[in-house]
Structure 1
Amino acid sequence: MKRSENKSRYAILGMLTIAPMSGYDLKKFTEKSMNYFWNENYAWIYPTLKQLEQEGLVVSSQEKQEGRPDRHLYTLTEQGRAELRRWLNEPTVFHETPRNEHLLKMFFADQVPLSITIEQMRFWREALQNMLTSLEDLDRQASVVALEQKVPQGRPYRLLALSYGLHMGRAQLVWCEETIAKLEGLP
């Protein structure tokens, strides 16, 4: 079986089309803008940046900071932009199974007391509500930007991804509410 390709490289290349960023900036960007569909952690970001630099897809530079270590900024090269476009032109194969620890626990929840499962569902509902609130804030900010007519090039595409997040978050929240009601009705 063929090992799946590291898609983190394309996430990083894509983020670098927006602006030069440090590893820290990339992590913060994913947390703020993409975490409802894509997440990167430092354990993947830094080795991937190093690999991308070795391949000539990004270049790094150092930025002096007052009272702190130098900041390493990464910039996309033309070769990196071409690699991103090559990947974007490939069809996406819909065979990836998402990993959802919460649903995995739900699948085997008969092994713990019902009260534990209800408590975990309530925790998940709260986390979903927080995520949805963040996405709704992003959506409101996007509306303000549209009114001020500051329309960045990638904006329509990012708004479509945001719309997906809003729909998925709302659907998951409905499922969560229904599941809690059903669990509370169990003997």
Structure 2
Amino acid sequence: MKAYYNDTTYAILGILTTEYRSGYEIKQFIDNSLNHFWKISYGQIYPTLKRLEQDGLATIDITAHSGRPDRKAYHLTQKGKEILREWLEKPIQQLPVERNEVLLKLFFANHQTPAQTTHLLKDYHQKLIELYQTYEGIEEIISAHDSNLKDARYWLFTLDYGKRTTEAAIAWCEATLKEL
């Protein structure tokens, strides 16, 4: 029987193709990159790493540190690489479903004052501008420090998606505020 793996498993298999190997390093990588489009908590990372090791998809190297807990570094096995490749080659199952609190509140905005609706959209607009600036900062870091990595090109593609969708949301906010 073939094992079933969830998207968190595949995300961590993918991360293990980079230089990030310990649970802590994986979480740092997620917080600085994937977290903008894929959330994974510590509570998901460690059980997933344990399962990867149990299923033979990863091995562990343990390094002792005096006065500190041992460092566990995870490495993909050939089987892990094959499972990741199989998943990457499968077509997507469904389009992403967006859960957007601003849109939900706007949908029912007839039940609040126009001033409250305007405030909601102006606040959202400002947060989108800040997010866009964050994306620009990440792009500068990748271009300056990681541009020689094979993965950097694909990191920039996903970042471009984030920038473009944020630009579209900013334009939508501006048009909606104008209509109000």
Query: What TM-score, normalized by structure 2, do the two folds share?
Result: 0.81
CA separation of 1:115 and 1:19: change in aligned 2, threshold 3 A: same
Question: d(CA) in 2 for partners of 1:52 and 1:104?
Answer: 38
Report matched runs for 1:37-52 at 5 Å: 37-52=37-52
Correspondence 1:158 to 2:155: yes
CA separation of 1:117 and 1:157: change in aligned 2, threshold 3 A: same
Correspondence 1:16 to 2:10: no
Question: d(CA) in 1 for partners of 2:110 and 2:5?
Answer: 36
Q: Mean alpha-carbon deviation: is it higher for 62-71 or for 155-164?
A: 62-71
Is the 1:65–1:71 contact (alpha carbons within 8 Å) kept by the matching residues of 2?
A: yes
User: How many angstroms does 1:51 deviate by?
Assistant: 1.9
Is the 1:19–1:75 contact (alpha carbons within 8 Å) kept by the matching residues of 2?
A: no
Correspondence 1:69 to 2:69: yes
Is the 2:20–2:29 contact (alpha carbons within 8 Å) kept by the matching residues of 1?
A: no
SS of 1:110's equivalent in the other structure is helix
Is the 1:20–1:75 contact (alpha carbons within 8 Å) kept by the matching residues of 2?
A: no
Question: d(CA) in 2 for partners of 1:101 and 1:51?
Answer: 34
Question: d(CA) in 1 for partners of 2:67 and 2:130?
Answer: 35
Identity %: 37
CA separation of 1:44 and 1:121: change in aligned 2, threshold 3 A: farther
Structure 1 residue aligned with 2:133: 133
Report matched runs for 1:1-187 at 5 Å: 6-65=6-65, 67-145=67-145, 151-182=148-179, 185=180
Provide the aligned length of Structure 1 versus Structure 2: 177
**CA-to-partner distance for each residue in 1:69-116, whole Å, 9 max, x for gaps?**
333322222111110001011111334423333323332333444444
Root mean square deviation, CA, Å: 2.6
Unaligned runs of 5+ in 2: none
Question: d(CA) in 1 for partners of 2:69 and 2:81?
Answer: 29
Question: d(CA) in 1 for partners of 2:119 and 2:66?
Answer: 47
Question: d(CA) in 2 for partners of 1:157 and 1:129?
Answer: 23
Question: d(CA) in 2 for partners of 1:101 and 1:79?
Answer: 41
Letter in 1 for 2:92: T
